[in-house]
Structure 1
Amino acid sequence: MECPVCGEHLGDAGQVLEGLDRRYAPCHACSQARLDPRAPPPEAGQPCACGRRPLDQVMAAVHAVLADGGGLAPGAPLAAVGTPLLHPFPPLRSPPFLPPSSLILLTRYATPSLARRLLAEVPEVRGVVADRGIVPGVGGATHDLLAGCDVYAEARFTPAGPLVLYKQVSTCHIEAPRPRDPKVEATDRAVRRVLPDVFVDACAGVGTLGLAAALRLVPAVVLNDAWGPAAWFAGLNLHANREALLAGEVDLLASYADLRDVPAPAAPEPVAAARADQEILVYRGSLWDLPPLLPVAGLRLAALDPFEKDPDRLRRIARRWQDRAGGEVFIP
């Protein structure tokens, strides 16, 4: 698999998970000093001889470049710099110590020239993204990649086993992985209770809930999202996690360029497919046009997880889906 942004090889789940528990651990000589995020930072310390540096110190180095270039006020607190995202990104129980090329920065304060400086002067920085204050995908909005690469791998540890989920910061909804994910746990409980023949993740994003259900070896799983980049990464993530499933080889049926800036199709279009002891399909389109494409036989269970969380609206969506597709519906 190749990254659609930089062309770098993207490892399968097993490759990403190998050694991940040690990737951000300090050596005996690493500085353990913590910085106050509410205050402007002192001069950043240099990386340890092991090549790692505490996240606080990395962000202090970023602060210095942004302040020197006029993007950020010198007296701004450290926390103002932006949101750090790691590649790969596991749930963190303690502050991480970063190796080179492991940080993607989402910030309001970088210009293209400052982003290039960050890549040149802060070795841990992998990519810089301009924060536009939006939720990617809602209304077609995106953040802007200024320099480097903004694709990262997130590790999720579900009750049925680990998942590796690739995402792009500028085009996908992001959140830091946690040791326990309530939505994933709700999905796992629903699958074990219902024992469906078909599981549908109708608002799949990059495929988290659908792939969590697939780890329980549901015979047929369908993932769908109307946002092209999310649907493409869902297909990529099916491929990345295929060894933990019974789906065999994965056919990627659409390129990133096919989906990146193209409006949602009139009818759902296939993005990826795997057919062996499990059948797992990924579509891009409206969830309301998906029911005719679902496997006909067996008990259906659908997860509906749209961005809008108004309770009345969610109830209406669930009823409408049940009227069209049948089976059982839950909102994680």
Structure 2
Amino acid sequence: MRYTTVNGRTVSALCLGAMKFGSTTDAATSAALLDRFVEAGGTFVDTADCYQFWVEGGQGHESETFLGRWRRERGVTDEVVIATKVGAQPTVPGAGLEAQEGLSAEVVATAAERSRERLGVDALDLLYAHREDPGTPVEETVGAFAELVAEGTVREFGISNHSTWRLERARATAQAGGRPRPRVLQYRYSYLQPRHDAPLESTGHRHLTPELLDFVRAEGAQGREYALVAYTPLLTGAYTRPDRPLEYAYDHPGTTARLAALDGVAEESGATRNQVVLAWLMDHDPQIIPLVGVSTTAQLDEALEATDLALTAEQHARLTAAH
């Protein structure tokens, strides 16, 4: 297992997504996957307070509730960092993201308290603002998260799926008020790059853009480091499964060139496409922590083995240059 740091705290360089745990992935399988991840040295798990409201019979909170039960049954404490998110839970039963709770100060405080109760913790390790809330000023949201950090019920504040200008406004607001700033960012990202003029099929996803990467590099140069976490790094199986075709946004010549480079490096290293993708992300500049969702032990083991795959500098450069 590789390790990295998230603002001074050591975590595994691979994050396990628990979105389906306790719902579409049954309890026994979910527990086995978590146990296997921890046994292999994994220490970083991701969830949200709305997972999975969209499946039949789902209310949201299933994943957090399951993780809380797993923590109690296994006696897990601070050795595993559990990140969660607030703001996207629908306010109307049966509704979608158009009815999300949002990120007002009242919602953030209430949702964070509920997440702490479900997870069974005194303080949330990492709490993200899940999605943009155009109806709430960024200043109000930053103030709400900063208050939770100040009172000790949230250790780290993160932002997911926000435009770059909102990130900068959040940073500037925090700095002006002497408050904690968001220091962890979560976006969709993988080796293959979509056209940014074509929408992704999942309306809840926001892709990590070149502009945002430039923002992170520039901030780092000023001593303001950000940790980057990338969800959907394996494109829901599209790298290896014929039954999972790439979506329309990836239909461009750059995809063909990158797949050719990917296959070349996979053959040289004796690894799978998925493993090369994960290794490329872990060696990325700026560094990226891939967040993988799995439903079988075989899928998890493939991802875990990627943490031991060392790409050469030439291989990484060749993959990056393909377009």
TM-score over 0.5 for the alignment?
no
TM-score normalized by the length of structure 1:
0.34
Structure with more contact order per residue of length (Cα contacts < 8 Å, sep ≥ 6)? 2
| Structure with the higher fraction of residues in helix conformation | 2
Query: Radius of gyration: which is bigger?
Result: 1
| Structure with the higher fraction of residues in strand conformation | 1
TM-score normalized by the length of structure 2:
0.35
